[in-house]
Amino acid sequence: MGVDQNINFYIKGGKLDINQLFKDYSKPLFYFALKFVEEEQAKDIVQDVFYKLWEDKSISVTSSLNGLLFTMVKNKCLQHIEKLKVRENYKHQASTQLKEEEINFYTNEATSLLEQELQDKLEVAISNLPDKCRQVFELSRFQGKMNKEIANELDISIKTVEKHISKALSLIRSELKDYLPLFLFLQLNLFQEKNSTFFIS
């Protein structure tokens, strides 16, 4: 018999004969589900419908058996599609957020590493300065003292202070020549508190 059979044909002992119902309806319902979802989902949905019929004793057929079964499958398919939409939307949002976080992380991490490398090179360059030259330079650039103050503190002339600073800048520039473009990239953030005039002679 076809799938248009009367509901009474599937009633045995007052209950639906799920096995016979599955034999007759599983394929038509499966092909119907394929109009909405992929093959694996279609199989699962058809099985879910028959499990629901077997499990839920409150389900009753008042008019068309076909109408009940195909409506149940259609609703399951629509629910699945809606879940996919929500899931894809969430995945897209999560992916976008993750990409933004990755970009921010790696950008900040890269900048931090560059700053640290530059700081290390700078400390080496300063440590390589002649003693008196380094002393004058640090008083000027790190302690912010005026040339006159440095001259009085070290008991040397202002002209000598200027020469030491000029020499220090020249030597540091020479040692950091490969890193000078980095200062522009970092916008001098590394020195904006203590040494904003670091390379200004």
User: What kind of fold does domain 7-88 have according to CATH?
Assistant: Rna Polymerase Sigma Factor; Chain: A (1.10.1740)
Tokens of 128: 């390589």
Higher pLDDT, 13 or 139: 139
Look at the block and give the residue holding tokens 């839920």.
56
Question: In angstroms, rounded to a whole number, what is the distance separating the alpha carbons of residues 188 and 198?
Answer: 9
CATH of 128-191, one of 1.10.10.10, 3.40.50.12370, 2.30.31.10, 1.10.645.10: 1.10.10.10
Tokens of 145: 């003292």
At 84-137, the pLDDT tens digits run 888 777 777 766 676 566 555 545 555 555 667 777 888 888 899 999 999 999
In this structure, what DSSP letter does residue 191 have? G
Band of pLDDT at residue 63, cut at 50, 70 and 90? low
**Are the beta carbons of 127 and 171 closer than 8 angstroms?**
no
Nearest to 69 by CA among 20, 3, 2: 3
Nearest to 46 by CA among 21, 65, 13, 63: 21
Same fold, 7-88 and 128-191: no
* Percent of the chain clearing pLDDT 70 (strictly above): 65
Band of pLDDT at residue 156, cut at 50, 70 and 90? very high
Domain boundary assignment for the chain:
7-88, 128-191
Q: Which segments within the chain are labelled E, that is strand?
A: 11-12, 15-16
